[in-house]
């Protein structure tokens, strides 16, 4: 019986061979048959953030989801050793990372250098996407990340049916992935490890977003309302990753219900009493509920005096 290979493997559709000279170069044969030579370089720790970048449409990984908590498995080791180099393409003075964005983010977090296999050859957008997909060695992309990548294909004019055929996915999965991608980042950012979110979680978050939009509740108010309780959850080291996600979801639902049940405050209605050329000069009336006020700015003392006298006379006439 053949022994099962241990560790990471390149996609079987992508052939790779070592260049015999010194082992620091490698040739990848693309599905098209084109052979691309890559060489190994080390990007200094001070340059990782500025000299490398990730294009989400190519790499597919949601970079905003790469929090310190979600990278803790790599952060533990990358400062001392990097087991697998990233794969990148030279773009002027920078390197576009096709595969290895989690390793790149971890290196930035701990200020470590980054090993990258790079090529100077030009790759088309389609070749870069296919190469990134074929050599993906990191954690599988979550549903939202897949949806973000598929959305770029939809924006190019493809229908969901065409996208499903090209990507080898069912139309149902394409629909689910795009729904997950449509959840606002303001809600997604509340979860330190976003890969824990399931499709049912994304659906719940979409419903919460719709409720907040209908009530015209801004995300700043929403986040401020739950900030201290969220901090308590994040600082609880006893919670496992799935328990932490469940606690955040529960807090989001509780906060939403609280805000939705709060009676909407009457907005003040402001009416201009006179139009001035100067921007900081005004005369206006503000009505809010049963109260009202007259506001003036930069009027002469003579005008102020006459307004005071007029108000006094009106009050005496109607209240005496």
CB-CB contact of 59 with 99 (8 Å):
yes
Task: Check residue 175 and give its pLDDT.
Answer: 92
Residue 43, CB half-sphere, CA atoms under 13 Å: how many? 29
Task: Check residue 305 and give its pLDDT.
Answer: 92
CB-CB contact of 195 with 139 (8 Å):
yes
Task: Check residue 187 and give its pLDDT.
Answer: 93
> Which residues does 215 contact at the CB level (< 8 Å), separation at least 6?
259, 260, 264
Task: Check residue 3 and give its pLDDT.
Answer: 39
- Identify the segments of the chain with pLDDT beneath 70: 1-23, 136-140, 263-266
CB-CB contact of 91 with 173 (8 Å):
no
- Per-residue HEC secondary structure of the chain comes to CCCCCCCCCCCCCCEEEECCCCCCEEEEECCCCCEEEEEEEEECHHHHHHHEECCHHHHCCCHHHCCCCCCHHHHHHHCCCCCCCEEEEEECCEEEEEECHHHHHHHHHHCCCEEEEEECCCCCHHHHHHHHHHCCCCCCCCHHHHHHHHHHHHHCCCCHHHHHHHHCCCHHHHHHHHHHHCCCHHHHCCCCCHHHCCHHHHHHHHHHHHHHHHCCCCHHHHHHHHHHHHHHHHCCCCCCHHHHHHHHHHHHHHHHHHHHHCCCCCCCEEEEEECCCCCCCEEEEEEECCEEEEEEECCCHHHHHHHHHHHHHHHHHHHC
Task: Check residue 306 and give its pLDDT.
Answer: 93
Residue that has been written with the tokens 């992508």 in this structure: 14
The whole-angstrom separation of Cα 37 and Cα 48 is 22
Quote the tokens at residue 172. 């149902």
């Amino acid at each position: 019986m053949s022994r099962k290979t241990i560790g990471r493997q390149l996609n079987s559709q992508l052939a790779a061979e070592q260049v015999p000279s010194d082992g620091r170069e490698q040739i990848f044969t693309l599905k098209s048959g084109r052979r691309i030579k890559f060489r190994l370089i080390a990007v200094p720790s001070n340059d990782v953030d500025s000299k490398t970048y990730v294009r989400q449409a190519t790499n597919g990984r949601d970079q905003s989801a790469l929090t310190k908590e979600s990278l803790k498995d790599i952060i533990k080791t990358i400062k001392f050793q990097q087991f697998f180099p990233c794969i990148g393409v030279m773009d002027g003075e920078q390197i576009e990372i096709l595969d290895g964005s989690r390793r790149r983010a971890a290196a930035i977090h701990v200020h470590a250098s980054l090993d990258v296999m790079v090529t100077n050859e030009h790759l088309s957008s389609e070749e870069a996407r296919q190469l990134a997909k074929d050599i993906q060695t990191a954690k599988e992309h979550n549903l939202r990340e897949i949806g973000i990548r598929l959305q770029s294909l939809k924006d190019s004019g493809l229908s969901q049916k065409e996208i499903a055929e090209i990507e080898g996915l069912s139309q149902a999965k394409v629909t689910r992935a795009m729904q997950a991608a449509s959840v606002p980042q303001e809600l997604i950012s509340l979860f330190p490890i976003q890969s824990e979110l399931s499709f049912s979680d994304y659906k719940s978050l979409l419903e919460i977003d719709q409720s907040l939009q209908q009530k015209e509740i801004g995300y700043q108010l929403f986040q401020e309302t739950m900030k201290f309780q969220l901090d308590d959850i994040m600082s609880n080291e006893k919670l496992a990753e799935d328990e932490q996600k469940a606690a955040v979801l529960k807090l989001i639902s509780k906060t939403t219900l609280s805000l939705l049940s709060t009676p909407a405050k009457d907005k003040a209605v402001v009416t201009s009493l006179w139009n001035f050329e100067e921007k900081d000069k005004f005369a206006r009336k503000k009505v809010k509920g049963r109260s009202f006020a007259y506001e003036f700015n930069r009027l002469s003392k003579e005008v102020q005096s006459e307004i005071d006298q007029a108000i006094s006379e009106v009050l005496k006439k109607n209240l005496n």
